[in-house]
Structure 1
Amino acid sequence: MRVFLASTGSGMSKELRDKTVKICRPRYILETFFNGEKSCLEAMSIVGNDNFLLDSGAFSYMNGAKVTLSQMDSYIDKYIKFIINYKIKHYFEIDVDNIFGLDRVEFWRNKMESAIGYQCIPVWHKGRGVEYWKRMCKKYSYIAIGGLVFHVKKQEYELIRRLVEYAYYCGVKVHGLGFTKTRELKNYKFYSVDSASWVVSATRGQQIHFFKNGYMKTRQLEKKGHKVDLPKLVAHNMIEWTKFQKYMDGVN
């Protein structure tokens, strides 16, 4: 299973990030177009095109960033141009269902695929329903589940597991967007997942992560009156999550 590190451009200076990458180079990275072309290119330069996922930035819009229809049209044009110019192999659709509706999302999906010449990774949300998931499995070889960060209730994870299993037996790869339950990953047949918790928990909650016994262990720092070196903490967490990446490479 591939575990992608998200937001590798956050929390550290470029100098510290480059130094950290030399110590323990990440295998897989996801970056969002919302953070700009430079961040995306820097992320892809670390892992190469085959091991890079380009996120559309829809998550940022669905969780607070304001946008009009004309602004989104312009954003998508730039997104398409970037993908074509740099021959990005794996890119996600603009899954802003809860802002502009599924019909508009499908319109943009078709527009992107027609311009780019190959399929995107469509992103299923629970509002689309199970039958829509099955149709995605018939049409696409690589699909994703979104809304796993904030919008899935505890009792719904069994449905997620069954959806992923259905796709697996259809020969379809599934990516879990923001799936960070590392203790439970082996119970799902995801092809890939991504997480930004390694950097978010460091910069916001000042949590330190360790790879141990096949999963990521998290604990709150005991500051004892000392100021925390947050960039150093982020670098530490990246190294530990890279160890987890290597471990999960051997898990189907």
Structure 2
Amino acid sequence: MLTPEGLKEQAELLKLPLNKQRAIVREYAQTIILRAIYQTDFAQKIFFMGGTALRFAYGLKRFSEDLDFNAEKLSLADFKEILASCSKALEKEGFTCEISQKERTSLLIGQLKLTNILQNYKITPLKSEKLMVKVEINRPVWHMETESAVVDRFGYLFSILLMSKGALLSGKVDALINRFRGRDIYDVIFMLQRKFPLKVELKQVILERIENINPNELMRLSKQVEPFLVDEEEKDFVVNAKTYIGKLLTQYE
């Protein structure tokens, strides 16, 4: 377990805002859990995706709460074994943990509730408050394009497998259409700025979705994502999403 001073030093190395202590502690726990997952026998068929994957692998400047994956042929029994490994890794660092899991069609959903981490770092005065990290694994039937990356955070250095850049962007475009939250707009802009591969047919889909939002709604969505941004001034990306996205999509012509 990192001491409070050690955690602060690591946060400074990662250029994290020290006033967001809860987010820093969550990210520390996520790092321990992610490393544990990729040390299991199932590592070669689990592929990281979503906002936390963008953050850990590509430097997304937004804190993300869950760990999301795609996987090939993973059973509920396998998932329980993975979560048990995560719990052991947390306990090795001095963090007690409660585990729960369930299966819903193609989705495996796990919750790791850390019962003492917030108290150890004096994030809360409440003895009963827990930090929950959700682990979700989808089991798609289609072929998955994947890549590898190295994670270097909080004193840990390890390799991971994740969905390809093109797949990550396609997944976020899908979220933009079907869920539509401030974080989805922010993440799409982040990926377009870095020229993640984009399917030709998705360009018009993105433009139409953004053009149909009124400015007041964009302002509301910017406030929704603001607390999770490393640099809160970047909420402007959401406020002026039409301008940013329109400009960035010209790179794909």
TM-score by length of structure 1 reads 0.28
Greater relative CO, 1 or 2 (CA 8 Å, sep 6+) = 1
